[in-house]
Amino acid sequence: MLSDLKIPKELRRKIDDELQPGEFIRWVEQPIPRFFTAASIGSVLFGIPWTSFAIFWMWGASGFKLPDLREGLQPQYMFALFGVPFVLIGFGMLSSPIWVWQAARKTVYLVTDKRAISIQGGWSTTIRSYLPDQLKDVYRKERADGTGDVIIAIRRWKDSEGDQRSEEIGFLGVRSPRGVENMLRQLVQNNA
């Protein structure tokens, strides 16, 4: 099954390392890589005025002219350099669609005969394994084109200001969420 898909070698190794002896794969898929998601669009839209203002501020701090370094490093140029971290943060926000797309390319989802597994690569690897008794509250969210998400768990926490936050965890951006949800429900029934 893995040979039919174009899963990068690094992810294939992680899959092989994660599988237990005798465990076989019933379904494997990588999320659909998308540049623009709700989170990345929001970040880009916020990043445009942020970066523009930071560049404008640096230009204003340097006297609304390009630095002339023939006279040496003047104090107003040093003051303008305080804007560099804000410009870099802005570039990070503007490039968020690239990071989202790269993350999808380093993620793989599996359903085996014993459990569901999510492997998210990158700078570090996060592997989440869900046994059948953890799959009882699975639900799906479908888009108009038939793709969607299969939600396995919801992580809840309070942020630094005490506000409630939540994150849906599961198989995000899959091609056939209905089929995956049915497969997970079947896994629960087979192991009941």
List residues bridging with 165 in a β-sheet. 157
- Look at 137 and 7; give whichever has higher pLDDT: 137
Contacts of 19 (CB under 8 A, 6+ apart): 25, 112
Q: How far, in Å, CA of 23 to CA of 21, rounded? A: 6
Residues 155-163: what's their mean pLDDT? 90
> What is the DSSP code string of 64-109?
SS---GGG---HHHHHHGGGHHHHHHHHHHHTHHHHHHHHHHTEEE
- Look at 182 and 76; give whichever has higher pLDDT: 182
For residue range 26-51, list pLDDT tens digits in order: 999 999 887 777 778 989 999 999 99
- Look at 116 and 63; give whichever has higher pLDDT: 116
For residue range 95-144, list pLDDT tens digits in order: 999 988 888 889 999 999 999 999 998 788 899 999 999 998 999 999 99
Tell whether pTM > 0.75: yes
Structure confidence at residue 6 (pLDDT) = 79
Residues 160-172: what's their mean pLDDT? 91
Residues 65-70: what's their mean pLDDT? 78
Please compute Rg for the chain using Cα positions: 23
Q: Across all residues in the chain, what is the average pLDDT?
A: 89
Contacts of 47 (CB under 8 A, 6+ apart): 90, 91, 92, 93, 94, 96
Structure confidence at residue 146 (pLDDT) = 92
Structure confidence at residue 5 (pLDDT) = 63
Q: How far, in Å, CA of 81 to CA of 72, rounded? A: 15
Q: Is the pLDDT of residue 3 over 50?
A: no
